[in-house]
Amino acid sequence: MDLEVPRIIDEEVKPGVQETLAEIRTRAPKAQLVLMGYPPLIDGDCVPYLNQEEAAWMNDTVAPHLTAAMREAAKANDAIFVDPAKEFQGKAICGDPETIHGVVTSGRSEADNSAPLPSMKSFHPKVSGARLYADALERGLG
C-alpha cells in the first residue's frame, strides 16, 4: 500500500484532475479556477479499525503526496491551489472540535447508494468543516 497509493495518485488522480481543469478552462477561458486541496483527515485515535500508525501514514504520506499532485495540476492549468490544512489543524476526525465526519453508520442521506454501510458522509466535512473550507478559500483569494 505504501507504493500503490502514491502510484494511484500520480497515474490516475493527478491526470484526472488535470483533465478536468483543462476542460473547465476550455469551456470557461476567462474563469478564475480554484482547486481546493484536502486537509489531513485524522487528529487522534478514535476511528474504529484504524490504528495510529495507519492514521499517521494517511496524514504524513498520503495527504502531502495528494497535495503536491493537486498543486501541480492546478499550476499546469493556471488555477489557484488552496491547501486547507491550516484551517483544519487540530479539527479533523477525533479533533476538538471535530469538523470532519468519522465513520458514519447511521443517518444515511440521498447521496448514499444501496451499499449497506458506511454512509458516504464518512470522511467528509461536517457543516463546521465546510466553514473551514470557506475560510481557506477566502484566504487563498485574499
Q: Name all domains of the chain by residue range, CATH numbers in brackets.
A: 4-141 (3.40.50.1110)
Q: What is the pLDDT of residue 49?
A: 83
Sign of the CA dihedral with 21 first, then 27, 29, and 33 last: negative
Instruction: Please compute the mean of the pLDDT values over residues 10-19 and round it to a whole number.
Output: 97
Pick the range with the lowest mean pLDDT from 11-25, 87-101, 116-130: 116-130
**Helices 63-76 & 14-27 angle (0-180, nearest 10):** 30
Q: What is the pLDDT of residue 65?
A: 95
Of the candidates 33, 32, 35, which has an alpha carbon nearest to the alpha carbon of residue 17?
35
Q: What is the pLDDT of residue 1?
A: 64
Better pLDDT: 48 or 30: 30
Tell me the pLDDT of the chain averaged across its residues.
92
pLDDT at 3 over 90: no
